[in-house]
Structure 1
Amino acid sequence: MIKGFIFDLDGVITDTAELHYEAWKSLADEMGWKFDRDVNDKLRGISRMDSIKVILDHNKTALEESKLEELATKKNDIYVASLDHMTPEDYLPGAKELLTHLRAEGFSVALGSASKNAIKVLQQLNANGYFDVIGDGNSVSKSKPAPDIFLYGSEKMSLQPDECIVFEDAESGIDAAKAGGFHSVGIGPEDRLGHADLRFDTMAEATLFEVKAHFKELFS
């Protein structure tokens, strides 16, 4: 039976994607690198260090690890400064309603995000009260598509993976959910998330009613 839900943050609860894009673009412009929205799409769901390596590969260049870390930190500083402008109005449509509904029905809820800034984002949204467990980029060493962040969440909720549904907007996130033995809901287009157990174009469509209807044998 389903007893818990695990949510990615960016693209599921809120959309910080544009803030990430602007931060990477600022760094790329400063470094003289080519960077556009197609490259940015490849960064969805992966860690900061992996992201900068994707950008370097695109530009057919390489840097020492220490320089990579310095630049990744610089990008993060730009991004974190932009988070100060987030407010509780910045939930994606449908996200707050779903979290409220899950709370009302007594489900356990965890965050499973690759972001090391997840706690700051939740504070800006005033969302901490919706989560029993917060798993972020500081919680595990292996990022998605490894299932570690979701396994961390289920373990902290004292649940088995097959008792949890993961909500993700990234291909690597659905891969991670599958690798860990979780049920999965994809938020976004078919070409990116067609391998999820259930998919919606937007969070607004992903109501608890619809989720229960699809996984009906897993809800009592």
Structure 2
Amino acid sequence: MIKAVIFDMDGVIVDTEHYYMDVMRKYLDEVEADYTEELLISFVGSSDPIITRQLDEILQPKLSGKEFVKRVVEDSKKNPVPYKELKMPGLYETLTHFKSRGYKIGLASSSPRKNIETVLHDLEITTFFDTTSSGHEYQESKPNPEIYLDTLKKLDVQPEECLVIEDSELGIAAAKAAGIYVAAIRDQHYGMQQDHADIIIEGLPDSIDVISNLERSN
């Protein structure tokens, strides 16, 4: 029996990945960095420390990855991400459906805690979530399952009692390694590998049917 749903954030709750990609491309071009689209795609679902190390390889000795990320962060303070405009279709309806039927709801994101709080606040969805987890609070990032295992513990459910909604290859791998059934929102932009998800869905509302089918099969 499914008792809980855990959401990833970027690419699941908000379509920020496309936005961040454009921002990253703009700044890399400004410093005349030699990069590939494949490198940018590898950032999707990854954590800041890993991205920083990858940036070191293409920016040094001109600039460190840490300095580059700091520059991007400073600019984002002047130009806040328009999260409301990037809200995924069907988000409110999906959250309302799960909440009204008594499912526990969690969030497990590689993003910093501050980003998570800002997104939930701006979209006015904080109260839907029973717990939230930031990848910055763990020793290992996705694809390590630590963030999902800890979120299961916070929700007091077993892996087989949970559905995860993800999109990135790293996130899918992390949830599967934690033993959880994964529904991946189909990637429309980057050619991400989603083959290891249990099911591919077209959008958030489809996750409602996924749980219904899982309940019937049990």
Shared fold per TM-score greater than 0.5:
yes
2:212 is matched with 212
2:119 is matched with which residue?
121
Tell me the amino acid that sits aligned with residue 23 of structure 2: A
Match of 1:70 in 2: 67
Number of residue pairs matched by the alignment? 213
1:85, distance to aligned residue in structure 2 (A)? 3.0
The worse-fitting range, judged by mean Cα deviation, of 72-81 and 179-188 is: 72-81
Q: CA deviation at 1:127?
A: 1.3
For residues 45 and 9 of structure 1, what CA distance do their matches in structure 2 show? 9
Q: Does the 8 A contact of 1:23 with 1:78 survive in 2?
A: no
Question: What is the CA–CA distance in structure 1 between the aligned matches of 2:185 and 2:78, rounded to whole Å?
Answer: 27
Structure 2 unaligned blocks of 5 or more: none
Deviation (angstroms), 1:82: 3.9
Contact 1:4 1:164 (C-alpha < 8 Å) held by counterparts: yes
8 Å contact from structure 2 (residues 110, 142) kept in 1: yes
For 1:92, which of 81, 88, 92 is the aligned residue? 88
Find the counterpart in structure 2 of residue 151 from structure 1: 149
Percent identical among aligned pairs is 29
Rate the CA distance shift 1:17–1:84 in 2: closer, same or farther, 3 A: closer
Deviations 1:69-91 (A, max 9, x none): 2322322333454435332x542
Query: Given that residues 107 and 133 in structure 2 are in contact (C-alpha distance below 8 angstroms), is that contact kept between their aligned partners in structure 1?
Result: yes
Alignment-mate amino acid for residue 72 of structure 1: V
The whole-number CA distance in structure 2 between the counterparts of 1:81 and 1:32 is 23
The answer as to 2:49 corresponding to 1:49 is: yes
The partner residue of 1:170 within 151, 156, 168 is 168
Cα distance, 1:188–1:156 mapped onto 2, change above 3 Å:
same
The letter of the residue matching 2:22 is: E
Query: 1:3 aligned to 2:3?
Result: yes
Partner of 2:179: 181
Aligned equivalents of 1:208 and 1:55: distance in 2?
Answer: 39
* Partner SS, residue 12 of structure 2: coil
Matched, 1:112 2:112: no
Do residues 199 (structure 1) and 200 (structure 2) align? yes
Where has structure 1 moved over 6 Å in runs of 4 or more?
none
Amino acid corresponding to residue 69 of structure 2 in structure 1: A
Structure 1 unaligned residues grouped into runs of 5+: none
TM superposition score normalised by structure 2: 0.85
Moved more, 102-111 or 115-124: 115-124
Matched, 1:33 2:33: yes
Contact 1:166 1:177 in 2 (8 A): yes
Distance 1:168 1:82, change over 3 A: farther
Deviations 1:34-57 (A, max 9, x none): 346443221110012212333454
1:20–1:79 Cα contact (<8 Å) kept = no
The alignment's TM-score, normalised by the length of structure 1, stands at 0.85
Q: 1:86 to 1:140 in 2, by over 3 A?
A: same
Structure 1 residues 97 and 191: CA distance shift in structure 2, 3 A = same
Query: Considering only aligned residues, what root-mean-square deviation do their CA atoms show, in Å?
Result: 2.5
The one-letter code of the counterpart of 1:199 is I
Q: Does the 8 A contact of 1:13 with 1:96 survive in 2?
A: no
CA contact (8 A) 2:165 2:182 kept: yes
